[in-house]
Structure 1
Amino acid sequence: MKVSTHLFAQLSLFAALGSAYLQDPPTTADPNTVSDCSWWIVAASTDTCEAIADANGISVSDFELVYNPSVGTVCALNVGQSYCVERNFGIPPVTTTTTTSAPTSTTTGNGITTPTPSQPGMVSNCNKFDFVNPDDSCSAIAARNGITVVQLSEWNSAGEDCTSLWGKVYVCVGVIGASTTSTITTTSTTTGNGITTPTPTQPGMVSNCNKFDFVNKGDSCSAIASRNGITIANLIEWNNAGTDCTSLWGEVYVCVGVVGTSTTLSTSTTTTTTGNGVSTPTPTQPGMVSNCHKFDFVNKGDTCAAIASRNGISVEDLVLWNSGGTDCTSIWALVYVCVGVLSSVFANTSQAK
């Protein structure tokens, strides 16, 4: 499972002896591997770049040239070495440019000195600026300046969902005559359904929500869904989070339960015996195939890649046997899933951390 845009990216610090990653590799990794790696595989002798990329939902070119430049187009894998298969918990960074100009400044008609280079289309009454570092997210920029992502988008012509913000430029984070101080202190409102709603909340959240969770720095959509016993599909639907959960905001409350829907999953283990004679533990993933003969419990924080890897199957098999939806986004947490079916042969293509 991969997770979402406006969540906070972590800056990587380079030292003379190597790089600091968001998640440490389980074995040795090439120093040229991307610094914001958040998930790794350990290469086996039977691995191919195509198989690894496919199992982890990334393109071969990204795996070979972007995430792991040492691999190259010849797919030079070293058995036992760690390779990156996910960046920044699946959260896309703010779009960056190749601007290399040193910051200078100009004075506009409002008497405010404006540093350059600056975001195209920035408002003329700006009185506070911030520099967009590589891997900054819109939510991170907004949070450190006490404003909302909506304000950041509006003052910088950044487009809907802040998708047009440039990197390595100065952006406007305050305007003349506007109060830009915000707080994440919890307040609440009571809606027509009688449920007290904490604020700030995710834009477009459903009105019949009865359970909320705060999105912390570094949270992924899969982590939020897992700790609340819901699916990523639920999280997307209830929070207007866009395709693949890419529009979920950071440092806001999101909906993780709605009136009339049970989202609490029991973790007590019982078993039933189906027509194939195999004892099936419960609770199980909805839509699981009937010819399953091997099961695994989905713990909080598990990813599809991790579940598949520890059971020697592919993510595609996991999705197929469990009605896992596109990109494995409908796998539930705190249930048993099918990791083996009668008359199937398993082939492990990669080892996850």
Structure 2
Amino acid sequence: MWANREKSHIGDGLPIYESDSYSYGGTLSLSRFFERGGQITLSRTVDKRDRSTSNNLEYSTALFSGRYGNVNLRAGIQRYRYGYQSNGSNQRYVSLDFSLPLAAWLSTGVSSNNGNIRANLSANKSFDNSALTSAGVNLAKLVKDKHNGDSDYSASGYAAFDTKYSTGTFSLSRPDNNRLNGSMTAHGAVAYSDKSFAASGLQEKSGVIVKTGFIDDAVLSAQVNGRNYRLTGSNNFIPLPPYSTYKVELMNDKNSMDSFDIVKGRTSNVTLYPGNVAVYQPEVKQLVTVFGRMTTENGRAIAHAAVRNHIGKTTTDETGAFSMDVDKRYPSVSLTTKEHGICEVDLDLAKAKGVKWVGDVVCAAQTVLAKR
């Protein structure tokens, strides 16, 4: 059962119209008592502004549902009465819909409404790992006209999006020959704390800003009380409900090739109240596992030499091959041997993710010779 009351007054600021109405109704599910019983809905609306009354009775049920299609039935009676009328007007309708699934995302069918017959085509598709999460379109063509004033065709479509900074839906419809309707809804949140701005497509009254400091398209994951959030870019805002304590834990994202060493601040515990925005700045190293072969200028392998960078070291094998983790912020390695002294090489890791083969790295003593 439900009830609704609406009342508004024209002021000086917004061009709205006055309203003074109430409505109430209820739905009884007959399927609770017998299979495919359907449901009955009864409602009444009273508009005091234009002195109108509307009573509605509708019955709907699924006659058939299976792998070869769905058949639905809707039938109803609507009675309208205006204050200046002595007698009201009645409208009756019967609608029969049949849809046939052609694929997981495509279906077709026909519908009959008070003698008018329409052919329908519907397509809906979801998208993974995309800013566009789902999209759909519905087309209907009148194939039998009983001269009830229906449009010869109608169409509608929608697209839902989910980005780092906003989420929402765009829709467009053409219900008849004379109307074209469109709408777009988008929502999100912006947070500021400790001289840091961040935004999110989610909405809450408090949250946490995570300052990762990324300058590329790297992806990290934050787990907050068991729920995972993707972190990209320099600052990220995670909106959270207030009056709760949260454990924020950073980890590598399972859907990304990026590899991180969280040196300091892997976990943080915060308690949030309305309006609170906590700032969390961990120390994170973005790692790339580098494979290559150290050689001299004449192509001879440099075997059993010590290779170092600022986070670790390794030793080349008898063929000069080596592998080691490198911090993308400091993409240089140095090699030391008794025969060749010391050399340093800058590696090109700007677009590397997780692992990179750098090939032959030419090394000359005290000189930066190559970029790989």
- The bucket for the TM-score relative to the shorter chain is under 0.3
Structure number with the bigger relative contact order (C-alpha 8 A, sep ≥ 6) is 1
Q: Which structure carries more strand by proportion?
A: 2
Structure-2-length-normalised TM-score: 0.22
Q: Which structure carries more helix by proportion?
A: 1
Bigger-Rg structure (1/2): 2
